[in-house]
Structure 1
């Protein structure tokens, strides 16, 4: 049976909870070595927003580098975490993602330095640059989906999920086509993935980190 899955990984705030990292964006100085999250410049914030909606970004629109300033906190991080508002992956998760179609984005090699801002931290790290948006959500067929906001400029209705509702999110068969990782254009803060990718993530023990939920494909929907 063809299946797709929804992930609430973007709501997993533990991924960005005091990671012990500072960030460097193109054209800006390093952020302070402190746990307080600095206010992002307008252009950086705009890039964060676009990335959070599934748009592929150019390399210079993503963080230039990161640096570990609190080793104790950094060592608590798993194979996916945030730095400067963007997702970084490594290890088995990076190996899994590299095998799948991630759309126009993909994995971008990323340097994390030690506290001296010059010596690379051991290991391979990658920015997860999203790059696919689909329009297959069927909100009227799922009680889990409720109205969120209407975009003033376009009049488009955006939706969100009630995460305590067990009714699966309904999608049209178009969700089975194209890249393995994507965002739905009008659904807030959720990521979707193919069954093959979801199973690979489950196989490496990261189902809970991604908060995976199976969706429902409505075969006769257009």
Structure 2
């Protein structure tokens, strides 16, 4: 799939440009597996909101504030595959395999935290194979160039018109980034591009070479000098 996307980007005139990569996870139903946690199944909805509020912080977090055991609830599933990809969203948490995390650890992760996550099948007893870790990423870069990009929507509300919401049909080359994104950590979010998760070119190359991006949707984002 990545080769096909690269060809699309070249056809749009982006060959030779430096790039970063948009990993489609947070906003995609194909990446959301129907996990839930006991902490989210109480009669106290405020507790759930508080957990999610803490997870959305960008300064620092304490992994002890978050679930470390989630179980599959088919009623909540977006994706249904029995074999989990190396990166996905379990409940509301970015979750990766041990192999994925080992590659990440070789790069500049900036404000970053990880903790072991037990992923259980719907019987709440049988674990999914492998080691899994939930991730928190506090790095933010505002590099999305709306005026040079396509395949996004702008919210109709005046107080959120600064936000761009990617279309589900976006293709390689549709999102263009400012050169400033090349500086700093190799993994980040862009607060102006809704629910984005961005990778530097070198991190993307390492994950791809390790075969860890298979079954994931990744878009090439040209960097505008």
Tell whether the structures are fold-level matches, with TM greater than 0.5: yes
**Helix, strand or coil for the counterpart of 1:60?**
helix
Aligned residues: 202
Q: Is the 8 A contact 2:86 2:212 kept in 1?
A: no
CA gap 1:159/1:90 in 2 versus in 1, 3 angstroms: same
Q: Distance in 1 between matches of 2:18 and 2:26?
A: 25
1:140 aligns with 2:152: no
TM-aligned CA deviation for residue 199 of structure 1: 1.2
CA gap 1:39/1:179 in 2 versus in 1, 3 angstroms: farther
Aligned-residue CA RMSD (Å) = 3.6
Structure 1 residues 1-21: Cα deviation after superposition (integer angstroms, max 9, x where no partner): 642111212234244334xx5
Structure 1 gaps, min length 5 = 32-37
Aligned partner of 1:44 in structure 2 is 48
Q: Distance in 1 between matches of 2:202 and 2:181?
A: 13
Q: Distance in 2 between matches of 1:148 and 1:107?
A: 32
Output aligned runs, 1:178-193, within 5 Å: 178-193=184-199
- Greater fraction strand: 1
2:204 to 198, 206, 221: 198
Structure 2 gaps, min length 5 = 1-16, 75-79
**Helix, strand or coil for the counterpart of 1:127?**
strand
TM-aligned CA deviation for residue 171 of structure 1: 1.4
TM-aligned CA deviation for residue 56 of structure 1: 4.9
Aligned partner of 1:17 in structure 2 is 33
Aligned partner of 1:164 in structure 2 is 169
CA gap 1:113/1:107 in 2 versus in 1, 3 angstroms: same
CA gap 1:22/1:213 in 2 versus in 1, 3 angstroms: closer
TM-aligned CA deviation for residue 111 of structure 1: 4.3
Aligned partner of 1:63 in structure 2 is 67
Q: Is the 8 A contact 2:141 2:188 kept in 1?
A: yes
